Structure 1
Amino acid sequence: MTTASSADTPAVVAEAVTETHGRRRAASGPVLGYLRYVGGKLAGAVVSLAAVLVTSFFLFRIIPGDPVRTMTHGRQVSAEQLAHLRAEFGLDLPLWRQFTDYCGKALTGDLGTSYQFHAPVGSLIAEKLPATLLLTGTAVVLYSALGIWLGTRSAWRRGGLGDRFHTSLALTLWSVPSFWLGLLLIITFSVGAGPVPGLFPTGGMESGDTSGMGYVLDVAHHMVLPVLTLVAVQYAQTLLVMRSSLLDEMGGDYLTTARAKGLRDDAVRRHHAVPNALLPTVTMLFINLGHVAAGSILVETVFSWPGLGGLFYQALSVPDLPLVQGLFVVFAGAMIVMNLLADLLYPLLDPRVGR
């Protein structure tokens, strides 16, 4: 009896070891799969950033105009002075040399020196960035929350009066150019139209004669119309995407099962349907967060908002090549980073992604 037990012991131990290794492999499988998924997304982001650097250099060199002559503001200058300016900004170098110098400096964080402001591009962007973050960040929070809420209600009560109204309004606002809507709001609520008096400033970020809480209220007063413009145009996209995603989920068997268990309709919507319908909306929300850095060029220009959008418009009119290139890299880089974060978050929300 003892001999038989001793003979079986190695087999039992081997079987236990095999089972342990199998469990470890099963546990490490999803982790390794996720790491491979992350590695692929990171590699794609690096390639995209490299493409942005190349595109930003060559794209804006097809813009007509001579930056050096623009810098002289139409003054009479000699050929020697023009040649000196071109040499100062490296415009006399061959194109391939300009490109390699630009890429080398960009990889170290040096985006060059602005032609018109004679200041580092990085410092100009850092100076204007807070105003853009304040304006577009506020708008993103508002139109994301509004779009998700209304999109959920419209889908859950599809075909009703509220669904038809919100969908029609969203489609109408989504087709309206933001600059046109901004001008319309300025005419109506800044200048005044008929019995409606001018209630809000026509542009800018502040009046310049306030401090403390008065300054905060003054900035908020100036933000009303540009934020309203951004929210009115952008919430429609969030609403339509959320509505479409939730409609796709509403026929799922898991919702029927949840109702069969006795859950209330509100609990089925909040705890089962909406979380599964959020995946496409999450991607869009992260893309919208990327737009926070870019701001809205047209809206900032219409409302004279002192942010990156207005700075980009100024740079493009020269053209101020280093400033335009630097802003383009920042705008595109923010979009790539936010899209990468959305891709990395996807497998955590839905384990089927990345397998």
Structure 2
Amino acid sequence: MTADSTPALVKQADADTDGPAPAGPPAARGPRARNTKAYLTYVAAKIAGAAVSLFAVLVTSFFLFRLIPSDPVKQMTGGRRVSTEQLESLRHQFGLDQPMWQQFTTYVGDALTGDFGTSYQFHAPVMDKIVEALPATLLLTGTAYVLYSALGIWLGTRTAWRNGSTSDRFNTALALTLYSVPSFWLGLLLIIVFSVGIGPVPGMFPTGGLESGNETGFAYVLDVAHHMVLPVITLVAVGYAQTLLVMRSSLLDEMGSDYLTTARAKGLRDDAVRRRHAVPNAMLPTFTLMFVNLGHVVAGQILVETVFSWPGLGGLFYQGLSVPDLPLVQGLFFVFATAVILANTLADVLYPLLDPRVGR
């Protein structure tokens, strides 16, 4: 080796060590890019599936209610003596004299633009009636949704963490009982006991409706809240039971995991282990259930709203079925199904962000 060779080698080593990185993206970006692409593909598949489901609902809503053995025109005349010419005129007015295929194509074409036709009994656009009744449904079911979700998660966590205790057995048995009770039956029972009054219990709450109709300002708010008590209790009783059972089951599955043992070995208190480690992982199934129930907030509770004469979408749907008011029930059915499908799709889209194993 000559005297000049050493500096050359040193310069070459320095160049290899300190020189610029090779052209091209870093290798670490490869898995991230693949994960992003897989997630976008997963989201696109879910959105496409939701679109197919919505179209299937649109088709189903047309044929389903035509299976009802009733003539809408005769129902609207209320049994009055009406000539054949008048009946035919009404059928022509509502488009019921057209061939079935023509009614179907007209319905689908209009529905894709947001036009569900005109209600037979209200003589108003179906979308106007839906928009008019929607706030009452959101007020009732939205309030119940927040209450029973919070209550179900809290009690489900406590009962699972104290598995086998007296409180666990009591809360689980109560939840199973309430979950199996029909909501309309529970609503009728509450009306009998707390609205009509029975024995020493006086009637304390209205039997139904949204308001008394003679209050303004803050008194109006209190009046509406007074009318909401029994229907909200009915919805909360059934909804919290379902949430509690799902949350309890999920947390019980997590309690034997190794990561909880490791957390305890690090010196974390039992409360911190539950709150920071066990509950977040056990929330995943409950998260899905909450989004399913979120769709039902818009869909309303037909039986509960009917029992309590609540002027929401559920009560409107019941009125439409009594005729049957085909444009009204078709439009409401599509809105109900759309709310549930969109809520489920949103849950599917967000789920991989909480659990990276999903969608890969």
TM-score by length of 2: 0.94
Q: Name the CA distance, whole Å, in 2 between partners of 1:25 and 1:226.
A: 54
Q: Name the CA distance, whole Å, in 1 between partners of 2:64 and 2:244.
A: 34
Q: Name the CA distance, whole Å, in 2 between partners of 1:150 and 1:226.
A: 21
Q: Name the CA distance, whole Å, in 2 between partners of 1:161 and 1:175.
A: 21
Deviation of 1:16 (Å): 2.7
Who is 2:103 aligned against?
98
Deviation of 1:14 (Å): 10
Two-structure CA RMSD over aligned residues (Å): 1.9
3-state secondary structure, aligned to 1:215: helix
Matched, 1:125 2:136: no
Deviation of 1:340 (Å): 0.7
Residue identity (%): 73
Who is 1:272 aligned against?
277
Who is 1:158 aligned against?
163
**Equivalent residue for 2:81, pick from 76, 97, 112:** 76
Deviation of 1:21 (Å): 4.5
Who is 1:189 aligned against?
194
Task: Write out aligned runs for 1:199-214 (5 A).
Answer: 199-214=204-219
1:89-143 CA-partner distances (Å, limit 9, x unpaired): 1111111111111111111000111011110000000000100100010001101
**Structure of larger gyration radius:** 2
Q: Name the CA distance, whole Å, in 2 between partners of 1:169 and 1:26.
A: 48
Q: Name the CA distance, whole Å, in 1 between partners of 2:94 and 2:288.
A: 40
1:351 maps to amino acid = P
1:195-246 CA-partner distances (Å, limit 9, x unpaired): 1111101111111110000000000000000100111111100000000000
Q: Name the CA distance, whole Å, in 2 between partners of 1:143 and 1:9.
A: 66
Q: Name the CA distance, whole Å, in 1 between partners of 2:22 and 2:264.
A: 43
How many residues are treated as equivalent by the alignment? 354
TM-score by length of 1: 0.96
Who is 2:352 aligned against?
347
Task: Write out aligned runs for 1:160-179 (5 A).
Answer: 160-179=165-184
Deviation of 1:6 (Å): 7.1
3-state secondary structure, aligned to 1:353: coil
Task: Write out aligned runs for 1:206-355 (5 A).
Answer: 206-355=211-360
Who is 2:141 aligned against?
136
Q: Name the CA distance, whole Å, in 1 between partners of 2:347 and 2:299.
A: 18
Who is 1:17 aligned against?
23
Q: Name the CA distance, whole Å, in 2 between partners of 1:43 and 1:260.
A: 47
Deviation of 1:22 (Å): 2.4
2:63 maps to amino acid = F
Unaligned runs of 5+ in 1: none
Q: Name the CA distance, whole Å, in 2 between partners of 1:245 and 1:131.
A: 34
1:42 maps to amino acid = I
2:54 maps to amino acid = L
Deviation of 1:27 (Å): 2.3
Q: Name the CA distance, whole Å, in 2 between partners of 1:7 and 1:136.
A: 72
2:68 maps to amino acid = I
